[in-house]
Amino acid sequence: MRKDIFQEMANKWPSAVVARTEMEKFSGGIMSGKYLANLDSQGAGPERITCGRKVAYPIDSLVAWLRDRSVK
């Protein structure tokens, strides 16, 4: 059985959300916050929440979205 790298990333993350500005750190550099901002503007990004001017992604939704977009 193939291990779920995305769930491993989530398990190591210290919070229930990932700030857009921290996306590069969360993903190990494979996806930037700017890229997610572009996808969000097109309605193609993961579920997001806002707090003031900050945007964050619930970790479970982000992991599911990354898993759906990954090439197997």
Q: Are strands 54-58 and 49-51 parallel, antiparallel or unpaired?
A: antiparallel
- Residue 64 clears pLDDT 50, i.e. is over it: yes
* Predicted local distance difference test score (pLDDT) of residue 71: 81
* Predicted local distance difference test score (pLDDT) of residue 4: 87
Residue 2's pLDDT band, with cuts at 50, 70 and 90, is: low
- The domain tally of the chain equals 1
Domain span at 41: 5-69
Of the candidates 57, 70, 69, 64, the one whose C-alpha atom is nearest the C-alpha of residue 16 is: 57
CB atoms within 10 A of CB 45: 18
pTM over 0.75: yes
pLDDT tens column, 17-36: 999 999 999 999 999 999 99
- What residues does 7 pair with on adjacent strands? none
Determine the average pLDDT of the residues in 51-70.
96
